[in-house]
Amino acid sequence: MSADHPQALIRAQEVLRAGGLIAFPTDTVYGLGAEIANAEAVAQLHRIKGRMEAKAIPVLAAHVDDLRQVAKPLPGMAKRLADHFWPGPLTLVVWCLPDLSPEISPFETVGVRIPDHPFTLALLAQTGPLAVTSANRAGGGDPLTAEDVLAALGGAFDLLLEGGPAPGGMASSVVDCTQDEVRLLRRGPISAEAINEALS
């Protein structure tokens, strides 16, 4: 279904509420998402990607306040980075709530992000935060188009929302904000230099 279709958001919500998985464009790559409250749907994300469940799945949200459903209040450095780079291609690893589903994160931390993509933000504003991972097999190339998603995953999910090429072209940068100093865990569109500059 086209992401521009008048019923796209409604259909996406129906699929998610029924425990299904949806693939959709973000500002970085195409994502595969599930409701955060549905542990079985989140577990299915792991199975489709073919990766160990010991690896956490990031959570995307439309607003910082929505992250209260999964994470403790952002610490100072994380808040400064969020203020500077969100919405945008930066995932912040922060302390999660103690009752967060282990299917999302088996650790005491969770990655969170507010994407800079109009459709994704509209979707998240309707659904609330979603557990979202890249719509590919573990170790596969970044899915930048709907065709990439179908080539990688076939019909393993329930709904594909086609929105043209993902504008970012690569997965987000990931920064650990749980220590005294932030640490870049994955290089992406935002460099270590830009992160350090935002904190200086």
CATH 3.40.50.880 is right for the domain spanning 8-199: no
Locate 77 and state its tokens.
């450095």
pLDDT of the residue at 139: 85
The phi and psi torsions of 131 (rounded to 5 degrees) equal: -80, 120
Q: What is the pLDDT of residues 158-194, one digit of tens each?
A: 999 999 999 999 999 999 999 999 999 999 999 999 9
Query: ∠ CA 43-48-54 to the nearest 5 degrees?
Result: 50
Q: Specify the pTM.
A: 0.95
User: Which residue ranges make up each domain of the chain?
Assistant: 8-199
Sign for the CA dihedral angle at 125, 129, 130, 134 comes to positive
Burial of 52 (0-12, 13-18, 19+ CB in 10 A): exposed
Q: How confident is the model over 36-43, as a mean pLDDT?
A: 96
3-class DSSP state of 183? strand
Amino acid (one-letter) located at 105: S
Q: How far is CA 22 from CA 13, 32, 131, 158, in A?
A: 9, 6, 11, 6
Amino acid (one-letter) located at 133: T
